[in-house]
Amino acid sequence: MVKIAVIPGDGIGKEVMVEALKVLEQLKQDDPTLQIETTIFPWSSDYYMQHGTMMPKDALTILRNYDAILFGAIGDARVPDDVTVWEFIMPIRKQFQQYVNFRPVKTLQGIASPLVNGREIDMVIFRENTEGEYSNSGGHIYHNQPQEMAIQNTIMTRLGVEKIVQAACDYACKYGKSKITSATKSNAIIHSMKFWDEHTKHIVEKASPTLTLESIYIDALVAYFVERPQDFEVVVASNLFGDILSDLGSAIVGGLGLSPSANLNPEKEFPSMFEPVHGSAPNIAGKGIANPIAQIWSLGLLLGHVGRADAEKRVVSAIEAVLKEGAVKTADIGGQATTSQMGDAICQALVNIRQTAGGV
Ligand code: NAI
Ligand code: MG
């Protein structure tokens, strides 16, 4: 039995999670060998308003007992964003050594991307997820005085850089990719980014003689993502650069509503966490119009991670079938369907796939 901790969170996180759980039920109905047990945790900004913390003190001890975490999104106007992020997402990612943030960026049939024009975009972003620019090292002193100052330190460790680059190389070798693109800025950020470049080069050279490495300055790289996105296969980036590149990656294939992500602890020593790239989208929360595909696809990635690549494949095929048919589309991709209609359409596509495959 695979045990999944489910944390819907805030805003549209709660709405899209309902659809992901619906899809999971359908998958289980179609295939009794898929033995998955879910436990829902209410940790969110609502929880914070009641208890003064985003999650209980022993939350990580509780989560440690699960095989994986399916997370929606957090962010609520009543709680400062740095509190929601640093009391919730960061402790999970850092304590559970989820140092790979894996973000696929892929053209989908039926989705009109502003850039696709018949070209196929199929890349994966490996974002370092536990250190780098997202550190709590620094300080803010002399408040309200002329000499007021703030310092924010970037922390890059050799082990941290080596592990994320190694994970990108392992993926490239496994899936027959030949090029690693590294996002850098070592011309201006001369300590940490030169260090990043040096260890990236070393790991890629050691990984395989067939892999080539291109290091591109982040400012140029964002322009290339727009001009020639089809040229990229595996992109490896620090925490901040990877965060920015993956929202851009989502946008060039059709929007945040479609993009899944995985916070992976590749050694499986701790549970990994699966969540959409998007946030809680307060501007559309409560309206029932959010696109649940990113959340459902994140469930797919989770299933692949817990050893059910077959179920992941079915989820992705069902999403692709619905988008290709084009009858059910949420507003973000040019339609009028509700969140729940999109979830239902994906469940129906799963049934169709099962029937075509000769099942009952
Ligand atoms: P956001 O991703 O929530 O929204 C950006 C834009 O994309 C909005 O116009 C929104 O309506 C749209 N959008 C996002 N997901 C969508 C979906 N599934 N279907 C249709 N449209 C969708 O980012 P934003 O506005 O910067 O942040 C809102 C809140 O979310 C903030 O509190 C922020 O801190 C939090 N956040 C949380 C994340 C997480 O939980 N991992 C990640 C990013 C932001
Ligand atoms: Mg982001």
Boundary-marking domain end, from 189, 223, 252: 252
Backbone angles phi, psi at 274, to 5 degrees: -120, 130
What does the alpha-carbon distance between residue 153 and residue 134 come to, in Å, rounded to a whole number? 9
CATH code at position 118: 3.40.718.10
Is the same domain home to 360 and 262?
Answer: yes
**What is the residue with the minimal CA distance to atom 4 of ligand 1?**
281
Ligand 1 geometric centre to CA of 105 (Å): 17
List pLDDT tens digits, range 132-142.
Answer: 999 999 999 99
Atom 25 (ligand 1): residue with closest C-alpha? 281
Query: Mean per-residue pLDDT for 117-133?
Result: 91
Q: Are residues 84 and 132 in the same domain?
A: no
Q: Which of 129, 256, 259, 295 to mutate to test the pocket of ligand 1 (most atoms within 8 A of CB)?
A: 256
Residues 243 and 131 in one domain: yes
Query: Which two structure tokens, joined as six digits, stand for 87?
Result: 């009391």
Question: Do residues 41 and 68 both lie within one domain?
Answer: yes
Whether the predicted pLDDT of 360 surpasses 60: no
Confidence of residue 321 (pLDDT cuts 50, 70, 90): very high
Last residue in a domain, options 189, 218, 252: 252
Statement to judge: residues 140 and 246 lie in one domain: yes
Residues 170, 219 share a domain: yes
Q: Please check whether residues 219 and 281 belong to one and the same domain.
A: no
Q: Is pLDDT above 70 for 358? A: no
Domain count, the chain: 2
119 in the same domain as 98: no
Between CA 241 and CA 185 the distance in angstroms is 10
- For the cut 80, the answer to whether the pLDDT of residue 114 exceeds it is no
Pocket of ligand 1 contains residue 346 by CB under 6 Å: no
Per residue in 180-237, pLDDT (tens digit) is 999 999 999 999 999 999 999 999 999 999 999 999 999 999 999 999 999 999 999 9
167 & 291 share domain: no
Q: Are 127 and 247 contained in the same domain?
A: yes
Is the CB of 72 inside a 6 Å radius of any atom of ligand 1?
Answer: no
Boundary (domain end) residue, out of 219, 252, 285 = 252
> Quick one: 272 and 351 in the same domain?
yes
Pair 236, 143 in one domain:
yes
Residues 6 or more apart whose CB falls under 8 angstroms from that of 349 comprise 317, 318, 319, 321, 322
Asked whether 139 and 132 are in contact (CB, 8 A), the reply is no
CA-closest residue to ligand 1 atom 27: 279
Which of 96-100, 141-145, 241-245, 249-253 is predicted with the least confidence, judged by mean pLDDT?
249-253
For ligand 1, pick from 83, 98, 280 the residue to mutate: most ligand atoms within 8 Å of CB: 280
74 lines ligand 1 (CB under 6 A): yes
- pLDDT tens, 326-353? 999 999 999 999 999 999 999 999 999 9
- C-beta 256 within 6 A of ligand 1: yes
Domain that holds residue 358: 1-108+258-360
Q: From the CA atom positions of the chain, what is the Rg in Å?
A: 20
